[in-house]
Chains A and B, each alone.
Chain A
């Protein structure tokens, strides 16, 4: 790891200022960034910790749904979102291990947009809003391919607002080594339709399986998707799963999520 400056602002306004510095980068739970720095693959000059900002912490119901502060650790979401949005809480509780869940945060995860991360599926399937220091971004506009988002230089997430569906479930199939999602599916049923988001599978990062959404919106049952097929054209193929295997998982897991949704 190379040397760096460390600042820990206590307000969003101060964080904005700190992040304006040359070579500054936000640090949240550090579960991705610190290993990268240790491997000398990243060498930010200034780390701006976002974990000391009260406005960016915690889970509560509010305008537009469930508000989750960007610096809220997974373990807190797993605990505190359980009554209001159980599928989201279950997702958070299934990330990594206890150490990761007590450090890693939703903001870091959504900012990083790892193609195998869990939260992006929840954000996209819920039609959530990503709130930043300067604007509000709809989930459908936010994710732009693996490790790519709508965030601009210096922009940081302060909060994610989740509309709460009538029923939802996240079904994750673990990659055997990392236990990130080899493929995982979040199904969310709203009054006006069903949204299905898939993570871990595509070369383009998290995506919505629109055919399934249409079918499930008409009939929320596994039968509704039994005739659908998933193309493996854009699917990731690696040591842990071929493209065809992942395409299979998309369908299998969607069915299981429909069965599990409550």
Chain B
């Protein structure tokens, strides 16, 4: 019987009531007394030297209160990269300063070099145009293509970085010779060159920030669209502006999606704070959609050559990759981790591969910064592996299902240390594969293919067996890997006198459903109704600390912190119960919301304990503190390793090249599932984004660095009719072995596992139609590209 409350219940998302009725409160919804409006002045060229900015005309425009340029911030700090990566030769990565406003040079179209603050938005906008017209920028040749960027050392994104390289990373460098030898000895080597297309995150809510300054106390407040307000506070305070951390409150109210792009601190946040201080008024900024396209951190953008050495029977012996990863013009906060430790460490996939070596060269270009986007590095790894295995199957005439079964790790092999530095704790990859095969009715595929053929369509089936490392992450591991921050999380559980509960969590919900799921766990553990529990998040003044939500970490890390805090609440409750029931603390048991003296019918309800904690009339105060509130910090022992098998079926119209995804089956192992409805929703969304990447989305810059896909007229988002009805299963669960909830994380899975399944299916369809010369099509597999591949 499905549960209707607590852990495992498909509780409907309580936050949706306010979102769907227009009662959410987003940053841009806030209207503050005396507020002024900021408009950023952005470069229209990809690369140029700022010769002069004449602010006088703009400053004299009606309503203009202030103009800021890079000059105003030249003495404050830069927005740093959060991970230090060393090159193969041991030298540290190159870290150019990322200023609040561009100074000296502009480095991508959309790079903000000035800001205008005015009484109204329209006045600021008018003056921004005047300022742009009064700015002289000497245009320099744009560096757009990564290969050209490394090849031509004369043209530099950052004058001090000669070859436009941030780093040249080898993973694991010491294994390189052994991998080369294994590759050489392999009976068969498959080579595939592919591009992982650059994506614009396209959160529904554009970025927005409001800065406030309170002269009486010297306090600042930043209300902003952030996935992790504490990190933003740390970066603004300690790195950029030098504000004491206890003098800045960062609030992220309702946030309408992020997909990674709102993890990072952006210059506009520092700008509104500086402007608020200078003007003594709140200063607000909201991105226009065009600004989102131009200045949100983009995702992916890898060019990879992958080689796979194998036996003729399809046993994988070695994998070697060379990747160029675009970081764009500046290092965004996670940009150096994404192509390395979130990518290279996954390059063994869920397989027993003895030898793996990964080389990543990360390249500066005159394009928007690139950073983590749903999946972050893991989709790139999965795509490379699953595509090259598919190619191996075709070259050797092997069945892709059988080849997966041959190579997948088996349950008896856990914990399993991969050749790329991770320890997979648990899993059952055969089980999810079998489940997917059953649910997708693989046995009936040929009949469906014949039916499609009758309608003139080529039907194909594609498989991907994927794994990822998430629940980011254990501080001890990420520290070794170069992270400059710890990646634990924190929660405070505050039981009020009347027994209702507020949970202050370091996770930040911007669509994930924390407000629903976290109370389910509390309710289950304390035996109280879900509706008695409220989640508080997104405010550095209210929550103890937090590292935010990304990397499918909310439940695994912040949820575990909450679970630990609940354990402390129960322990404290037992103390109180012992006092009230005049029993020994060791004799108190807690179950179903009741504290009882073991072996008796003496009991106190959770509510009675809570009330007593705040009305401690006769407490033994030397041994029992009043109050019922506990905080826990949780730092996991390992990453979590969700895995699964995805099967995609497509129909291709060979005359037009149009691909329709007609069926998609996802069998995932997310460990324990707290709310199946939300997990399914996360998979639907993730697979939708994966199908978007595979078939529709592409970010295209022309040779001058102009963004060709700067609006929805040219940037193709997937729509409802681009995706099929999904078949989603998560019954093959192997609970995570090292967190108290046994959860693994489901937020990114769909986006990680699906793109290769889609592309493999397209190749399969084309082969079935006799177009066997087509061995690969780069994403997005658009109608035009499919048609060209067929007719090449």
Contact = CB atoms under 8 A, between A and B. Distances in A.
A249 B788 CA distance: 12
A252 interface: yes
A178 B708 contact: no
Interface string A30-52: 00000000011000000000000
Contacts of B63: none
A239 B709 contact: yes
A107 to B, nearest CB: 22
Contacts of B782: 176, 240
Interface string B649-673: 0000001111000000000000000
Given A239-B698, A239-B700, A248-B656, 20 more contacts: A39-B290, A40-B125, A173-B783, A176-B716, A176-B782, A177-B715, A178-B712, A178-B714, A182-B783, A239-B708, A240-B714, A240-B782, A241-B783, A242-B784, A245-B784, A248-B655, A248-B787, A248-B791, A249-B656, A252-B655
Nearest to A242: B784
A116 to B, nearest CB: 10
A39 B700 CA distance: 21
A238 to B, nearest CB: 8
B715 A240 contact: no
Contacts of B712: 177-178
Interface in A211-247: 239-242, 244-245
A176 B656 contact: no
Contacts of A244: 788
Nearest to A179: B719
B275 interface: no
Contacts of B290: 39
Contacts of A178: 712-714
B523 interface: no
B696 interface: yes
7 A-B pairs with least C-beta separation: A177-B716, A176-B716, A178-B713, A241-B784, A252-B655, A245-B784, A177-B714
Interface in B696-734: 696, 698, 700, 708-709, 712-717
Contacts of A39: 290
Nearest to A237: B784
Given A239-B708, A240-B782, A252-B656, A176 B788 contact: no
A173 B653 CA distance: 12
Interface of A: 1, 39-40, 173, 176-178, 182, 239-242, 244-245, 248-249, 252
Contact of A176 (B122, B655, B696, B708): B696
Contacts of A248: 655-656, 787, 791
Interface of B: 122, 125, 129, 290, 655-658, 696, 698, 700, 708-709, 712-717, 782-784, 787-788, 791
B279 to A, nearest CB: 25
Best-buried of A1, A39, A177, A182 by chain B (most CB within 10 Å)? A177
Contacts of A177: 696, 709, 712-717
Contacts of B788: 242, 244-245
B787 A245 contact: yes
A146 to B, nearest CB: 15
Contacts of A239: 698, 700, 708-709, 714
Contacts of B700: 239
A107 B555 CA distance: 54
Contacts of B787: 245, 248
A244 B790 CA distance: 13
A40 B658 CA distance: 36
A248 B655 CA distance: 8
Among B290, B657, B709, B783, the one with the most A-chain Cβ atoms within 10 Å of its Cβ is B783
Nearest to B695: A176
A109 to B, nearest CB: 16
Nearest to B714: A177
A1 B696 CA distance: 31
A252 B787 CA distance: 12
A231 B192 CA distance: 35
B204 to A, nearest CB: 16
B109 to A, nearest CB: 16
B76 to A, nearest CB: 32
Contacts of B129: 40
B779 to A, nearest CB: 13
A241 B786 CA distance: 11
Contacts of B122: 1
6 contacts: A173-B658, A178-B713, A239-B708, A240-B782, A244-B788, A248-B791
Contacts of B715: 177
A15 B784 CA distance: 45
Nearest to A97: B719
Given A245-B784, A245-B787, A248-B787, A173 B656 contact: yes
B128 to A, nearest CB: 11
Contacts of B784: 240-242, 245
A83 B717 CA distance: 35
B777 to A, nearest CB: 14
Contacts of B713: 177-178
Contacts of A40: 125, 129
A176 B783 contact: yes
Nearest to A3: B122
A135 to B, nearest CB: 33
A252 B657 CA distance: 11
A39 B714 CA distance: 16
A239 to B, nearest CB: 6
A177 B658 CA distance: 14
Nearest to B700: A239
A182 B658 CA distance: 12
A241 B657 CA distance: 11
A129 to B, nearest CB: 31
A240 B787 CA distance: 12
A187 B168 CA distance: 58
A71 B555 CA distance: 54
A248 B791 CA distance: 11
A140 to B, nearest CB: 29
Nearest to B713: A178
Nearest to A180: B713
A240 B698 CA distance: 10
A256 to B, nearest CB: 9
B705 to A, nearest CB: 16
A242 B708 CA distance: 15
A176 B718 CA distance: 9
Contacts of A242: 784, 788
Nearest to B708: A239
Residue from B658, B716, B788 having most chain A Cβ neighbours under 10 A:
B716
Nearest to A116: B713
